[in-house]
Structure 1
Amino acid sequence: MYDFANSCFTTVIVTAFYVLYFKEVVIPRGYPREEGDFFWGLNVSLSMLFVALSSPILGAVADYSGSKKKFLRFYSLQCIIFTGLLFFVQEGDIIPGMLFFILANIGFEGGIVFYNAFLPEISTSENIGRISGYGWALGYFGGLTCLLLVLPLVSGGFTPENLLNCRLSFVVVALFFLIFSLPTFLFLKERAVPKAPPAGQSYIRAGFLMLYDTFREIKRYRELLKFLLAFFLYNDAIATIIAFSAAFAQDTLHFTVRENIILIIVINITAAIGAFLFGFLVDRIGAKRTISVTLLIWIVVVITAYFAQTKAAFWIIANIAGTAIGSSQSASRSLIGSFSPKEKSAEFFGFEAVCGRFSAIIGPLVFGTVSSLTGNQRYAVLSIGFFFVIGLILLQRVNEQEGIKAARLAEQ
């Protein structure tokens, strides 16, 4: 249920609505729209920077102390609280609008690190792709459900008489996250056995030493390192598209708020189907080949989006992207899980968080800067395509079977 719960944040806040509210309402009138792209990119980048720097250490501490669930609960509640506080952000409140979003996004992204670390504990090498795919599919249905709940509130757009409803939508998201994450908080079991740290050492120090041991043994996980380099690049592009897709549709193709929400509702359905079906494909042909297929789809999406001139064309392109977005992230999560010794799962997903979050610092800044300098979001979209191409090339250097073998040997 956690996938169902937390997807409301990335769907409504990051992708569909708060990005538009921030650019149209929070940024004072008179600012160029391209400046809004720059500030929004800065929001995403700063929050990702914090998660990238803290995740490996916290992941090591969580593995050592057997406390992944405690960290998951802490970060989730942080996201919920600061999402609710977005209600108080109004026109001209740039600093509070940025601060509350950054803290909420840190909570969301930090929680994912520890949630993903449970995957090797609840799956096997035979079904890890399906389990991951089920989670992503359920997550997209969660995002869809929350979008339907807030649609009556936001359909009126950013007219003065509807701004209160817009702000109430942020409270709805916070409550949705809280309510549907309760089953995870109450019933998910922490299977890891806590290890007492050496005498005179705290869990923090023990976590640093555990992380150091991983670096020392890193030659055993060469395929993981090669994959993370590829992941760094293509995830950069995916994170940027998630952060700016609604803004591109509104500013370049003149979608209304309601049209944007409806489009993202439909994309959530195609994304859920894609994540579900590609989960079976992972188990049949392997995660690496599956990711390669999705990256080819992404390259086609970027090129066609650059040339799109009508709303109808963008509808088609966006739904093709929908099939790739969930499947590429689900397959990536499966590959990380396959490359992770169970006792180091949180730590390895912490490494994945470093690559993913550092890449998510670069992409939004690149998009926002190119859009601001050129005054044209199409050039910004095209610049993101290079990350997909290079990521696909580097991915071909990964030997999936060797990566799995190294992880299993480490468990013996």
Structure 2
Amino acid sequence: MPTSLAPGVTRREIWAWAMFDFANSGYTTVVITAVFNAYFVAVVAKGEAWGTLAWTSAIALSYALIILSAPLVGAYADAFACKKRLLLFSTVGCVVFTAGLALAGPGELGVAILFIVLSNFCFGSGENLIAAFLPELARVEALGKVSGWGWGFGYIGGLFSLGACLAFVSWAQAQGQTAAQFVPVCMLITASLFAVASLPTFLFLRERSQPQPVCGDMPIAQAVLARFAQTLREAGRYRDLLGFLACTVCYQAGISAVITLAAIYANQVMGFSTQDTLLLILVVNITASIGAVLFGWLQDRLGHRATLALTLLGWLGMVALVWVARGPGLFWLAANLAGLCMGASQSAGRAIVGLLAPPTRLAEFFGLWGLAVKLSAILGPMTYGLTSWLSAGDHRLAMLITGSYFVVGLLILAGVDLERGRQVAVSRTESLNQ
């Protein structure tokens, strides 16, 4: 491990960084993927036909807010060397608003939408900020491996939160409780675990970045806007980074649809109960953890681009399996293939951005990456939701159409040259700060 770390970085610090992936994965696993999404459609929206569209619209709104704010938050974090402080604010927000989801009972649509938008906004903002620490912690040649450690550890965290919720749901159902009674408690469990598991990050992770020059005596807001405007003016110089961000929008759109709608698909198409779905997602988290670590190691040997292309082909295989699945066997196989590719593709994406981002503007460029990811998180689920609605609830057709995003992502990826992009990022560092 020490040969993979940047000078001065300790094993404890890498653990503390990875613990944030461990902590926040419980939110995506329980709230977005396995429990609250299906609860929203079946209980909050009372099973109405517009329930899936309402859910994807609420998620889309939260991501739209991140798209508007992420690059500016990143520019501010770089200019004033405060990634860790902003990460703390976003974490507290996500914990509080996740707990607020416990107030969303049957028919409480406004409450559910309010807290899902706010909690997911805080989650996404924190996701960008923690990713920006990666290039400070790992050597360039080990970005894939270290990113894979984080993602792999993160899926274990999701597994832990989901396991705790599954244990409670099993007990609650044995007592005769309904989803309206046990799902709110699951939200409180998830919020509590997020808060506790993130503590090592704030205790041991160091802020290594240095404040960057801002524009004279400008007010802070104006200086941040000026810094971001400079990056936009020079964006054309980062041809390969822009190409990869476009690729990210496409393939992440497909991934976001799967993550956001997996439980809904399992419930509405495959007839899975809440307990069945929790068990499926629990097993998939194990597969995803293995995929993140295995492919993270493979990235630094096979190459980032080739590894990502391999995982996108895997995603296409998953879509094909879901399309033909009529029973639980093939669906379980498809779900675990998705888990294997999920950890790998997300780990690869974070590592590639770390490779292509200028060293003095990590938070800002990871903010641009976050913008791309969140734009995809609007496109993918909304494509699925609209297709499902227009086709009178044909979830198989919705999944097939959403899968086309992986094809477009592969085509764009073929034109990205990572070595050229890395050279541009390093060569432009000094001029960016003049």
Q: CA deviation at 1:186?
A: 1.8
Once residues 166 and 12 of structure 1 are traced to their aligned partners in structure 2, the CA distance between those partners, rounded to angstroms, is 10
Aligned to 1:408: 426
Give the TM-score, by structure 2 length. 0.92
Once residues 345 and 45 of structure 2 are traced to their aligned partners in structure 1, the CA distance between those partners, rounded to angstroms, is 33
Q: CA deviation at 1:199?
A: 3.7
Please, which of 378, 398, 415 is the counterpart of residue 397 of structure 1? 415
Matches within 5 A, 1:155-304: 155=170, 161=178, 163-195=180-212, 197-304=214-321
Q: 1:139-184: CA deviations, max 9, x gaps?
A: 0000001111111222356975553222111001000000011111
8 A Cα contact 2:39 2:179, kept in partner: no
Mark the CA change 1:161 to 1:233 in structure 2 (over 3 Å): closer, same or farther: closer
Mark the CA change 1:394 to 1:166 in structure 2 (over 3 Å): closer, same or farther: same
Q: CA deviation at 1:341?
A: 1.3
Q: CA deviation at 1:342?
A: 1.5
8 A Cα contact 2:267 2:277, kept in partner: yes
Aligned to 2:164: 149
Once residues 218 and 62 of structure 2 are traced to their aligned partners in structure 1, the CA distance between those partners, rounded to angstroms, is 30
Q: 1:371-391: CA deviations, max 9, x gaps?
A: 111121000000111110011
Identity %: 38
Quick one: which amino acid aligns to residue 127 of structure 2?
I
8 A Cα contact 1:9 1:177, kept in partner: yes
Once residues 97 and 197 of structure 2 are traced to their aligned partners in structure 1, the CA distance between those partners, rounded to angstroms, is 17
Quick one: which amino acid aligns to residue 83 of structure 1?
T
Aligned to 1:380: 398
Give the TM-score, by structure 1 length. 0.97
Contiguous gaps of at least 5 residues in structure 2: 1-18
8 A Cα contact 1:157 1:258, kept in partner: no
More off after superposition, 392-401 vs 183-192: 183-192
More off after superposition, 298-307 vs 210-219: 210-219
8 A Cα contact 2:106 2:180, kept in partner: no
8 A Cα contact 2:58 2:117, kept in partner: yes
Matches within 5 A, 1:120-135: 120-135=135-150
Aligned to 1:335: 352
Please, which of 2, 6, 10 is the counterpart of residue 28 of structure 2? 10
Once residues 330 and 205 of structure 1 are traced to their aligned partners in structure 2, the CA distance between those partners, rounded to angstroms, is 34
Once residues 178 and 43 of structure 2 are traced to their aligned partners in structure 1, the CA distance between those partners, rounded to angstroms, is 13
Aligned to 1:306: 323
Aligned to 1:97: 112
Please, which of 38, 43, 60 is the counterpart of residue 53 of structure 2? 38
Q: Which runs of 4+ in 1 moved over 6 A?
A: none
Aligned to 2:43: 25
Once residues 395 and 69 of structure 2 are traced to their aligned partners in structure 1, the CA distance between those partners, rounded to angstroms, is 32
Aligned to 1:347: 364
8 A Cα contact 1:64 1:203, kept in partner: no
Once residues 185 and 234 of structure 2 are traced to their aligned partners in structure 1, the CA distance between those partners, rounded to angstroms, is 50
Mark the CA change 1:161 to 1:377 in structure 2 (over 3 Å): closer, same or farther: closer
Contiguous gaps of at least 5 residues in structure 1: none
Q: 1:81-107: CA deviations, max 9, x gaps?
A: 000011111000001111101100001
